[in-house]
Amino acid sequence: MEGAVDKVFVVQGVAKKLWATEDAMDSAIAQASTLMGGIVEARAEIGCSHIVVDPAMAKVAQAMAAMAEARTALIDAHHALNEAKLRIGVRTKLGIGGSGDDDHKFAVTTDSADLRQVG
């Protein structure tokens, strides 16, 4: 039974890293969006031509598209890791809380195969 608990802690560690990466990606996308808005506002405030900032805006838009694609890949990884967790016999239930570190909590259950008695 101790091995099953150890697996749960390892899985929890990976899950926390995954969630931190997903949160960081969301933050980066939000920051890039703020940057795009800042470029538009700065252009208007300065009164320069749209042509002047267009190359920069195109590059920021390109970066945002790449970040959105990376976010989708992270979500795919999330699903793959969930499947891997199940394949190694770790069953956890996720409870979503408020905001911050309490967002992701585990309620641990073990696979019935881990509980059978060998005799």
Q: For 1-119, where are the E strands, in sequence order?
A: 90-96, 104-110
pTM, entire model: 0.73
Average pLDDT over residues 62-71: 98
Sign of CA dihedral 56, 33, 17, 90: negative
Helix, strand, coil in percent for the chain, rounding step 5 = 75, 10, 10
Number of Cβ within 10 Å of residue 8's Cβ equals 19
* pLDDT in the model for residue 42: 98
Number of domains in the chain: 1
pLDDT one-digit tens code per residue, 8-60: 999 999 999 999 999 999 999 999 999 999 999 999 999 999 999 999 999 99
Average pLDDT over residues 78-104: 73
- Its domain, for residue 16, covers 2-115
Residue where the block lists tokens 């239930």? 93
